[in-house]
Amino acid sequence: MSDLLPTCPYCCTALPKMPTRKSRCPACGLAIYVKAAPEDRIKRLVTEAEATAIEQRWQAAYAAQRDEQHIQTFGVPVPRTGAQQRALGRQIARRDLLKLQSVSRYAEISGGRDACPSCRRLEGVWEIEQALSVMPLPNETCERYQQGFQMHCCAFWGLPKAASDDPR
């Protein structure tokens, strides 16, 4: 019957009951962690070092899941470098322009109310063919964009706001 009782992962002393959270072994006094690994999700009693390793495996599993979702959405893995982020930004801007092209010959760059001065200078109506050849977005001189690859350019594509902006 004693083999059914949980045991301390350090000293193998039988515990009176299965802990539900971090606790100390009554015999050796060391911290016992209750963790489930991402591979099987079975709760087990582990040492501090084993708990750290399990947490790292969970982080890797979550990163792989995010990568898979990103690939399904954008067709590429999550960008890890600034160059990869810029390439993805160009791909997204191109996709946005092609969607707008199905309903209009013109698109407008808007920076929003928090746009940096560099993005404000790009604001206005563009012919979509010209925009596709120049690809002004993402704005490489955007202040947010320059802060690191986690940030996104202030500006974005949309349909022209007023009918007078569409000279057709």
Residue 104 sits in the same domain as residue 42:
no
If one counts the domains in the chain, the total is: 2
Residue 158 sits in the same domain as residue 88:
yes
Residue 83 sits in the same domain as residue 146:
yes
pLDDT in tens, 13-63: 999 999 999 999 999 999 999 999 999 999 999 999 999 999 999 999 998
**pLDDT over 80 at 94, yes or no:** yes
- What pLDDT does residue 69 have? 86
Crossing angle (nearest 10°) for helices 48-74 and 82-101: 30
* Spatial contact of 100 and 109, defined as CB atoms under 8 Å apart: no
| pTM (2 d.p.) | 0.53
Residue 116: count other Cβ atoms within 10 Å of its Cβ: 18
Residue 49 sits in the same domain as residue 90:
no
- Which of 14, 39, 72 is the C-terminal boundary of a domain? 72
Residue 32 sits in the same domain as residue 66:
yes
Q: What does each C-alpha distance from 65 to 52, 69, 78 come to in angstroms?
A: 20, 6, 11
Residue 84 sits in the same domain as residue 38:
no
**pLDDT over 60 at 83, yes or no:** yes
Higher pLDDT, 132 or 82: 132
Residue 14 sits in the same domain as residue 63:
yes
- Which of 72, 93, 127 is the C-terminal boundary of a domain? 72
- Which of 41, 72, 103 is the C-terminal boundary of a domain? 72
Residue 57 sits in the same domain as residue 29:
yes
pLDDT in tens, 115-164: 889 999 999 999 999 999 999 988 888 887 666 544 577 888 999 986 44
* Spatial contact of 95 and 151, defined as CB atoms under 8 Å apart: no
- pLDDT bucket at 166, cuts 50 / 70 / 90: very low
Which range of residues forms the domain containing residue 141?
79-165
User: How would you list the strands of the sheet with 156-158, edge to edge?
Assistant: 124-127, 106-110, 156-158
Residue 112 sits in the same domain as residue 59:
no
Average pLDDT over residues 72-98: 80
DSSP 105-161: SEEEEE--TT--HHHHHH-EEEEHHHHHHH---S-TT-HHHHT-TTS--S-EEE--S
Residue 60 sits in the same domain as residue 96:
no
**pLDDT over 70 at 168, yes or no:** no
- What pLDDT does residue 1 have? 41
- What pLDDT does residue 152 have? 72
